[in-house]
Each structure stands twice: as structure tokens, then as C-alpha cells.
Amino acid sequence: MYEKEKSALLNRVRSDPVSFIHRWRSDGDREIAGFIAAQFAYGKIEVFMNFLDRLFGLMEDGPQRFIEAGSWEGLKGFYYRFQKEDDLVLLFEVLRKIVGDYGTFGSMFRSFYEGDTRRAIWRIRERYLSGDDRLTFFFPRPSPTGAQKRWNMYLRWMARKDEIDIGIWDFIDPADLTMPLDTHIYKVGRCVGWITQKTPSYRAAREVTEALKSYCPADPLKYDFFLCHGVGIGAGCTGKRTKRCRETCAVYEI
């Protein structure tokens, strides 16, 4: 069932932020494009997709060269929701420092990763933010309530490999990833009993991840795109079982 449903959903990749990493061929470009796309993937999808499309339009020579050049004049007037022009410049300066230190974003993450992605993010934060909280939105502190959805989505793109995800980070085992818990996955997880937490949180993200490991221990996040687009968005999951669910939900019988 999964393979059939996934195949039918592949045309939705172009309307998902993962589409931006497929614009480039070099790993360095795709790593930076993926990080930027994931970090701004919040709010209404059509709004952030439009913002990202305009932002990447500034990077004709590729995201890595754009970051390395350090010329931010084109960002004048750019903003998305809470992030203003100054925030973008600050974020890109951190990315420039990372690329200057390690050559690529992936090499940097590899150096901080010791089997725990949350710990790696914390160590990166300590190294590059130096107590500056202005970029906490992009480099969050680990906490039981913080699901770190955008980071977990980015790590899925980098560590898994199929028609959707590029899987260029072989140093992270897909079995060690945590589900990117957005509102759609949370509602589906609550509805089928995978999640007991009453609010979205890191614990809830781990619950749904462990539940999906019972179907595929080696790669539980293979179901993420299907559950989000096919069930959460496509079937309009509300998080509650209704008569309509039997007709529209592909995981109703679980």
C-alpha cells in the first residue's frame, strides 16, 4: 500500500520545500539550500514557498558561492514573518563562518555529530552563536517541549535516499532520525494511537518515530512524506476518527 500511495504523491514534491534541494547538483549547494529551505518552512506553505523561491532566485551561482561571497545587498527589503533583513544577514554570516571553517555544511555537522542529532545541534549552537539568542529560532536549545521539526526535516532530506530525499550524509543512520512533527503528522499520530502526548513536543515526535519503527526499523521516516501529504493534507485529517475517515484515510484500519 505504501509504495502505491507514495508513487501517486511524487508529483507533490514540487510543492514541498524538499524541491529546492533538487535544483542543484553539488552536495555543498544542496546542503545549504536544504538548510535554508527547512528553516523557513513554517506558516502557510504557499507563502513560504514563494518567499524561498524569491530568496533562491538571488543565488544564481549556487547557494554555497552566494554564502561564501558574503555580499548581502540583494537581501534589502527581504523578510518572512518574524525574520527581517537583519536576521537573514546574521544567519547567512553564521553559514559563511561554518563554510569557511569546514568547507561544507555537511562536513561541519559530521564533526559535531556523535550519534545524537539533538546534541549535535546544541554543540553547533554553542560554537557559533556564542550566547547570542537572536538565532535561537534556527539553532534551538534542546528541550522536552521542542520538537525541532525543521531540523529533523532537514536531517531526513540529508540522511535518507529515495525519489524524494537525497541521502548524501552517510554518517547518519536513517534508523536514528526523529520524525519531523508538524501539525499534520501530529493529528495523524493522535488519531491512530501512535502519539499519547496531548501537545506537539519532542516526546510526541519520538513516540510516532518508535511506532513507525514497528513497520520499518531501519528507516521509519520513509513514511513521513506519505503521511503528511497523503493522509494529513490529502485526506484532511483532523486528528479525530469520523465516518468520513473510513472512506478517505489510507491508514484508517491501523
Residues sharing a CB contact under 8 Å with residue 184, sequence separation 6 or more, in sequence order:
227, 228, 231, 232, 233, 237
- Please report which confidence band the pLDDT of residue 142 belongs to, taking 50, 70 and 90 as the band edges: confident
User: Residues 162-174: what's their mean pLDDT?
Assistant: 97
Instruction: Name the residue with higher pLDDT: 190 or 8.
Output: 190
pLDDT at 83 over 70: yes
pLDDT at 104 over 90: yes
pLDDT at 247 over 60: no
pLDDT at 108 over 80: yes
User: Residues 181-200: what's their mean pLDDT?
Assistant: 91
What is the structure's pLDDT at 130? 74
Instruction: Name the residue with higher pLDDT: 211 or 130.
Output: 211
Tell me the domain boundaries of the chain.
Answer: 13-172, 178-254
Grid cell, residue 240, equals 479525530
Listing DSSP states for 101-149 in one string gives HHSSHHHHHHHH-SS-HHHHHHHHHHHHTTT-GGGTTTSPPP-TT---H
- Please report which confidence band the pLDDT of residue 233 belongs to, taking 50, 70 and 90 as the band edges: low
User: Residues 4-27: what's their mean pLDDT?
Assistant: 86
What is the structure's pLDDT at 90? 95
Residue 52 contacts residue 45 (beta carbons within 8 Å): no
What is the structure's pLDDT at 194? 94
Residue 190 contacts residue 200 (beta carbons within 8 Å): no
End-to-end CA distance of the chain: 12
What is the structure's pLDDT at 242? 61
Query: How far, in Å, CA of 218 to CA of 182, rounded?
Result: 22
Residue 104 contacts residue 28 (beta carbons within 8 Å): yes
Grid cell, residue 224, equals 513521513
Listing DSSP states for 61-104 in one string gives T-HHHHHHHT--GGGTT--BTTB-HHHHHHHHHHHHHHHHHHSS
Query: How far, in Å, CA of 109 to CA of 61, rounded?
Result: 23
Amino acid making up residue 226: F
What is the structure's pLDDT at 234? 55
Helices 27-39, 45-56: axis angle to 10 degrees equals 140
User: Residues 102-106: what's their mean pLDDT?
Assistant: 98
pTM for the structure as a whole = 0.92
**Residue keyed to cell 502557510:** 44
pLDDT at 13 over 90: no
Residues sharing a CB contact under 8 Å with residue 191, sequence separation 6 or more, in sequence order:
237, 238, 239, 240, 241, 245
| Rg value, the chain, Cα | 18
User: Residues 11-24: what's their mean pLDDT?
Assistant: 92
What is the structure's pLDDT at 139? 92
